[in-house]
Protein backbone atom coordinates (compact mmCIF):
# COMPACT_ATOMS: atom_id res chain seq x y z
CA UNK A 1 0.00 0.00 0.00
CA UNK A 2 1.39 3.36 -1.01
CA UNK A 3 0.10 6.87 -0.60
CA UNK A 4 0.42 9.37 -3.44
CA UNK A 5 3.75 11.16 -3.09
CA UNK A 6 5.32 8.20 -1.31
CA UNK A 7 6.41 6.17 -4.32
CA UNK A 8 9.69 4.23 -4.17
CA UNK A 9 12.53 5.85 -6.09
CA UNK A 10 16.00 4.54 -6.73
CA UNK A 11 18.36 5.31 -3.87
CA UNK A 12 21.99 4.20 -3.96
CA UNK A 13 22.65 1.43 -1.44
CA UNK A 14 25.12 3.46 0.67
CA UNK A 15 22.79 6.47 0.75
CA UNK A 16 19.85 4.22 1.74
CA UNK A 17 21.86 2.72 4.63
CA UNK A 18 22.78 6.16 5.94
CA UNK A 19 19.21 7.42 5.56
CA UNK A 20 17.76 4.31 7.24
CA UNK A 21 20.10 4.72 10.22
CA UNK A 22 19.10 8.38 10.54
CA UNK A 23 15.39 7.52 10.41
CA UNK A 24 15.80 4.70 12.94
CA UNK A 25 17.67 7.06 15.29
CA UNK A 26 14.87 9.59 14.87
CA UNK A 27 12.22 6.98 15.72
CA UNK A 28 14.17 5.86 18.81
CA UNK A 29 14.26 9.42 20.19
CA UNK A 30 10.69 10.22 19.17
CA UNK A 31 9.33 7.09 20.86
CA UNK A 32 11.47 7.61 23.98
CA UNK A 33 10.07 11.11 24.47
CA UNK A 34 6.43 10.24 23.73
CA UNK A 35 6.45 6.94 25.64
CA UNK A 36 8.25 8.63 28.51
CA UNK A 37 5.24 10.90 28.94
CA UNK A 38 6.95 14.13 27.85
CA UNK A 39 4.11 14.85 25.43
CA UNK A 40 4.73 18.61 25.38
CA UNK A 41 8.08 17.95 23.66
CA UNK A 42 6.33 16.00 20.87
CA UNK A 43 5.96 19.04 18.52
CA UNK A 44 9.75 19.57 18.62
CA UNK A 45 10.09 16.61 16.26
CA UNK A 46 8.23 18.47 13.48
CA UNK A 47 8.97 21.38 11.16
CA UNK A 48 7.08 24.62 11.64
CA UNK A 49 4.77 23.98 8.66
CA UNK A 50 4.28 20.24 9.11
CA UNK A 51 1.32 18.00 8.37
CA UNK A 52 0.28 15.27 10.80
CA UNK A 53 -2.58 12.94 9.98
CA UNK A 54 -3.85 9.65 11.39
CA UNK A 55 -6.10 7.90 8.86
CA UNK A 56 -7.84 4.55 8.54
CA UNK A 57 -6.52 2.23 5.81
CA UNK A 58 -9.71 2.19 3.75
CA UNK A 59 -9.82 6.00 3.59
CA UNK A 60 -6.17 6.17 2.60
CA UNK A 61 -6.60 3.47 -0.06
CA UNK A 62 -9.58 5.32 -1.56
CA UNK A 63 -7.68 8.61 -1.56
CA UNK A 64 -10.07 10.17 0.93
CA UNK A 65 -8.45 12.97 2.94
CA UNK A 66 -10.58 12.34 6.01
CA UNK A 67 -8.46 11.59 9.04
CA UNK A 68 -9.15 10.66 12.62
CA UNK A 69 -6.56 13.27 13.59
CA UNK A 70 -5.36 16.12 11.38
CA UNK A 71 -2.99 18.92 12.26
CA UNK A 72 -1.34 21.53 10.08
CA UNK A 73 1.67 23.21 11.61
CA UNK A 74 3.62 22.86 14.82
CA UNK A 75 1.24 25.24 16.64
CA UNK A 76 -1.67 22.80 16.18
CA UNK A 77 0.53 19.97 17.46
CA UNK A 78 1.50 22.09 20.44
CA UNK A 79 -2.17 22.73 21.27
CA UNK A 80 -2.87 19.00 21.03
CA UNK A 81 0.13 18.13 23.20
CA UNK A 82 -0.88 20.62 25.91
CA UNK A 83 -4.45 19.30 25.87
CA UNK A 84 -3.19 15.71 26.27
CA UNK A 85 -0.69 16.47 29.03
CA UNK A 86 -2.69 18.96 31.10
CA UNK A 87 -6.32 17.98 30.69
CA UNK A 88 -6.28 14.20 30.69
CA UNK A 89 -9.84 13.06 31.20
CA UNK A 90 -9.16 9.36 31.00
CA UNK A 91 -7.69 6.58 33.13
CA UNK A 92 -3.92 6.68 33.71
CA UNK A 93 -2.02 4.54 31.23
CA UNK A 94 1.34 3.98 29.67
CA UNK A 95 1.92 3.82 25.95
CA UNK A 96 4.66 1.99 24.09
CA UNK A 97 5.50 2.54 20.43
CA UNK A 98 7.28 0.02 18.21
CA UNK A 99 8.49 1.20 14.80
CA UNK A 100 10.11 -1.31 12.45
CA UNK A 101 10.89 -2.26 8.87
CA UNK A 102 12.05 1.20 7.87
CA UNK A 103 11.99 1.42 4.09
CA UNK A 104 13.69 4.38 2.41
CA UNK A 105 11.55 5.56 -0.49
CA UNK A 106 13.78 8.46 -1.51
CA UNK A 107 16.68 10.40 -0.04
CA UNK A 108 18.73 13.43 -0.97
CA UNK A 109 20.62 16.12 0.93
CA UNK A 110 17.42 17.98 1.90
CA UNK A 111 14.82 15.26 2.42
CA UNK A 112 14.26 11.62 3.33
CA UNK A 113 10.97 9.92 2.53
CA UNK A 114 10.35 6.68 4.41
CA UNK A 115 7.71 4.08 5.14
CA UNK A 116 7.71 2.08 8.39
CA UNK A 117 5.41 -0.24 10.29
CA UNK A 118 4.20 0.71 13.75
CA UNK A 119 2.40 -0.75 16.74
CA UNK A 120 1.13 1.24 19.68
CA UNK A 121 0.56 -0.74 22.87
CA UNK A 122 -1.43 0.58 25.80
CA UNK A 123 -1.30 -0.55 29.42
CA UNK A 124 -3.92 0.75 31.79
CA UNK A 125 -2.79 1.07 35.40
CA UNK A 126 -5.33 -1.55 36.45
CA UNK A 127 -5.45 -3.65 33.31
CA UNK A 128 -3.66 -5.77 30.78
CA UNK A 129 -1.55 -4.53 27.92
CA UNK A 130 -3.50 -4.28 24.67
CA UNK A 131 -2.75 -3.44 21.07
CA UNK A 132 -4.06 0.10 20.71
CA UNK A 133 -3.25 0.59 17.06
CA UNK A 134 -1.11 -0.85 14.25
CA UNK A 135 -0.34 0.35 10.77
CA UNK A 136 2.15 2.12 8.57
CA UNK A 137 3.93 5.45 8.86
CA UNK A 138 4.51 7.49 5.73
CA UNK A 139 7.07 10.10 6.72
CA UNK A 140 8.68 13.01 4.91
CA UNK A 141 11.69 14.33 6.83
CA UNK A 142 13.50 17.62 6.42
CA UNK A 143 17.18 16.85 6.61
CA UNK A 144 19.70 19.30 8.05
CA UNK A 145 22.97 17.38 8.30
CA UNK A 146 22.38 14.72 10.96
CA UNK A 147 19.19 16.35 12.24
CA UNK A 148 15.81 15.17 10.97
CA UNK A 149 12.44 16.83 11.52
CA UNK A 150 9.10 15.58 10.27
CA UNK A 151 7.63 17.70 7.48
CA UNK A 152 4.80 15.20 7.09
CA UNK A 153 3.61 12.16 9.02
CA UNK A 154 0.73 10.11 7.72
CA UNK A 155 -0.08 7.27 10.10
CA UNK A 156 -2.37 4.80 8.34
CA UNK A 157 -3.89 2.33 10.78
CA UNK A 158 -5.12 -1.06 9.64
CA UNK A 159 -8.54 -1.49 11.20
CA UNK A 160 -11.72 0.52 11.28
CA UNK A 161 -12.27 -0.63 14.86
CA UNK A 162 -10.13 1.49 17.17
CA UNK A 163 -10.35 2.54 20.77
CA UNK A 164 -12.40 5.68 21.29
CA UNK A 165 -9.67 7.21 23.44
CA UNK A 166 -7.02 7.67 20.74
CA UNK A 167 -5.39 10.81 22.05
CA UNK A 168 -1.71 9.95 22.14
CA UNK A 169 0.61 10.79 19.26
CA UNK A 170 1.45 8.05 16.78
Flag whether 32 is in a domain: yes
Residue 137 is predicted with a pLDDT of 97
Residue 161 is predicted with a pLDDT of 65
The pLDDT profile of the chain, 170 residues, written as one tens digit per residue, is: 678 889 999 999 999 999 999 999 999 999 999 999 898 999 999 999 999 999 988 888 888 767 778 899 999 999 888 887 776 656 677 889 999 999 999 999 999 999 999 999 988 888 889 888 999 999 999 998 789 999 999 999 987 666 655 567 88
Domain count, the chain: 1
Q: Kindly report the number of other CB atoms within 10 A of residue 48's CB atom.
A: 11
Residue 2 is predicted with a pLDDT of 72
Print the domain residue range for 46: 13-157
DSSP state of 109: S
Residue 164 is predicted with a pLDDT of 53
Residue 63 is predicted with a pLDDT of 81
- For 84, counting Cβ atoms within 10 Å of its Cβ (0-12 exposed, 13-18 middle, 19+ buried), the class is middle
CATH number at residue 36: 3.10.450.50
How far apart CA 141 and CA 30 sit, in angstroms, is 13
Residue closest to 29 by CA, chosen among 113, 112, 149, 118? 149
Flag whether 6 is in a domain: no
How far apart CA 149 and CA 48 sit, in angstroms, is 9
Flag whether 3 is in a domain: no
Residue 17 is predicted with a pLDDT of 97
Flag whether 111 is in a domain: yes
DSSP state of 165: T
Amino acid sequence: MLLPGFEKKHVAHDAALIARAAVEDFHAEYCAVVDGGDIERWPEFFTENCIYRVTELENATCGLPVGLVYAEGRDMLHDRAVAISRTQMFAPRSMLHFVSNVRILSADDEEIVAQSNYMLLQTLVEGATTLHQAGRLFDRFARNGNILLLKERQAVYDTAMIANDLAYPV
